[in-house]
Each structure stands twice: as C-alpha cells, then as structure tokens.
Amino acid sequence: MSDRTAGMNVPAARTRERTLSVTTLAAEFHAPSLTDFFPPAVLFEGTPFELDRLMLVRLLMTAVLAGFMLLAFRSPKIVPRGIQNVAETGLVFVKEQICDEVLGKESGRKFFPLIATIFFTVLFLNFSGIVPGLNISSNARIGMPLVLAAIVYLTFNYVGIKKYGFLKYMRSSIVVPNVPPALHVLLIPIEFVSTFILRPFTLTVRLMANMLAGHIMLVLFFSATWYFLFDATAWMKVFSPFSLLAGLGFTLFEMLVIFLQAYVFALLTAVYISLAEHADDH
C-alpha cells in the first residue's frame, strides 16, 4: 500500500488505487467517438437553431467567400489588380476551362453562374481544412456535399426533361441504341442506376471522403509531433522533426486536393448537364 493510502482503511485505499489506475489508463488512451469528429452544439443548444463547430466553420467560410467577392468587385477596374485580379482569374478559369470547354459557348454562358458558385463554394469550404484554429473542412461531413449533389442532380434532370419531355429523356438516358434486344434486360437497369443513383452518390462521397481523409491525416501528423515533443520519452523526441515535416508536406498536398476537389465537382456538374442536353445522342 502506498504512503498516500496508508491512513485510509483497506477497502477505501483499494478503491482509490483502482480509480487512479483507471484514470491513468483513460488519460493514456482515449477511444474515438463521433463527437471527436463532429463536435456537439456550441451555440443555441436545445433549440431548432443549434450550431456546432462545423456549422460555425461553414458559416464563417461562407461569409469569407461573400466578403472576398464583394471586396474584389466593389469598384472593378478595366485593368484588374490585386484581389480583383485574383477573383477574375478564378472566374475566367471556370468559364474557359470548364463551362466553355464542356458545354460550349452558348450553354456555358447559361450555366456559368451555377457552376462558378459550386466551384468557389467547394473551394472556400475546403480551404478551412488547412487554416490554423479551424482545422477542418465542413465538407468533411455529409451535409454540404449532399446539398450540392442534390442541386446538381435536380439541375441536369431539369435540363433533360425540359428539352425532351420526361418519357423521351428517360428513354434516351437508359436505353442504349444499336444493341441486341436481349441485352436491354441487363443494360437498362445498369444505365438507370449509373445515371440516376450513382451520380449524386459519387459526387457526395468523393468530396466528403477526400476532405475527411485529409483532416484525419493532418490530425495524425501534428498530434504525433505534439506527442513526441511533450509527452514521449527523451529518446523518442528525435522523431518530432520528421512528423512535423510530414505534416507540413501533407498540408501542401492538401492544398492541391482542395483545388482539385472543387475543380472535379464543377467539372462533373458541367459534364452531367451536357449529357442531359444531348441525351438522345449517346
């Protein structure tokens, strides 16, 4: 029995030792839970307007995006400079490399506002994943990717139905021409699932999974650095520079992923709209 428990009776001392032992183990190992990834409400808790940390990050980055655009175009110059130049470069990239390239000049002009909004929304919401103090993209939770995918889904189906009518659009989308009739039994279900189920599903999961995976990797690298520096034994501290460099290197890689996910989401939006517009050509 330790000196600290010498003055206690035996049952109480044993109970205290068990408590200390459990507490020590709990401090050494913490099993992850859903609240570690999706923190509980922090504002307006218990009301229909609860806002957790991810929602606050989402609102903050939305405000940053709106402020960025307002600041860039509050007094536009013929020869853009500074922040206006940055914003116009992004808009020109979306117009020329996505809208015009995939949809053509006429349709590209029509759907440019939607595709540009999707591109910059995904880009700015993703960017919070590498901002110190925020440290996570709100696209790492399924809500926002699902909303964006639903908007794309409704848009391309609306375009197809408006142009061809519901029955012709459905037939053109799921019936593959010039194949033996017996193969339609196999191909029609495949085309239906691919067009009307997998498209929104893959849009949602691709964005969410990439941003969540990036967040987890950054947490692992920088948590390891903290552990090696402050909690590990002396000989293990030599690993801290390596984990820190790995974290910084992965941060640079995550910056590339942030842009690529915005580009891919906007590009696929344009592709799906184009396929709906030309459903009878496939």
- 7 occurs within a structural domain: no
Q: Is the model's pLDDT at 282 over the cut of 80?
A: no
Q: Is the model's pLDDT at 239 over the cut of 60?
A: yes
Domain that holds residue 249: 37-281
Mean pLDDT of the chain: 85
Q: Give the highest mean pLDDT range of 17-21, 101-105, 225-229.
A: 101-105
- 3 occurs within a structural domain: no
- 53 occurs within a structural domain: yes
- 24 occurs within a structural domain: no
Q: Is the model's pLDDT at 14 over the cut of 80?
A: no
Q: Is the model's pLDDT at 98 over the cut of 90?
A: yes
Instruction: Report pLDDT for 47.
Output: 78
Question: Residues 271-276: what's their mean pLDDT?
Answer: 95
Give the residue, 112 or 237, on which the prediction is more confident.
Answer: 112
Q: Is the model's pLDDT at 193 over the cut of 70?
A: yes
- 129 occurs within a structural domain: yes
pLDDT tens for each residue of 134-159: 888 999 999 999 999 999 999 999 99
Q: How many domains does the chain have?
A: 1
Give DSSP secondary structure letters for the chain: --GGGTTS-HHHHHHHHHHHHHHHHHHH-----HHHHSPPEEESTTSTT-EEHHHHHHHHHHHHHHHHHHHHTSS--SS--HHHHHHHHHHHHHIIIIIHHHHHHHHHHHHHHHHHHHHHHHHHHHHGGGSTTT-S-GGGSSHHHHHHHHHHHHHHHHHHHHHH-HHHHHHHHHPPSSS-GGGHHHHHHHHHHIIIIIHHHHHHHHHHHHHHHHHHHHHHHHHHHHIIIIIS-GGGGGGHHHHHHHHHHHHHHHHHHHHHHHHHHHHHHHHHHHHHHTGGG-
Question: Residues 60-85: what's their mean pLDDT?
Answer: 92
- 5 occurs within a structural domain: no
- 14 occurs within a structural domain: no
Instruction: Report pLDDT for 88.
Output: 94
Instruction: Provide the percentage of residues in the chain whose pLDDT is more than 70.
Output: 85
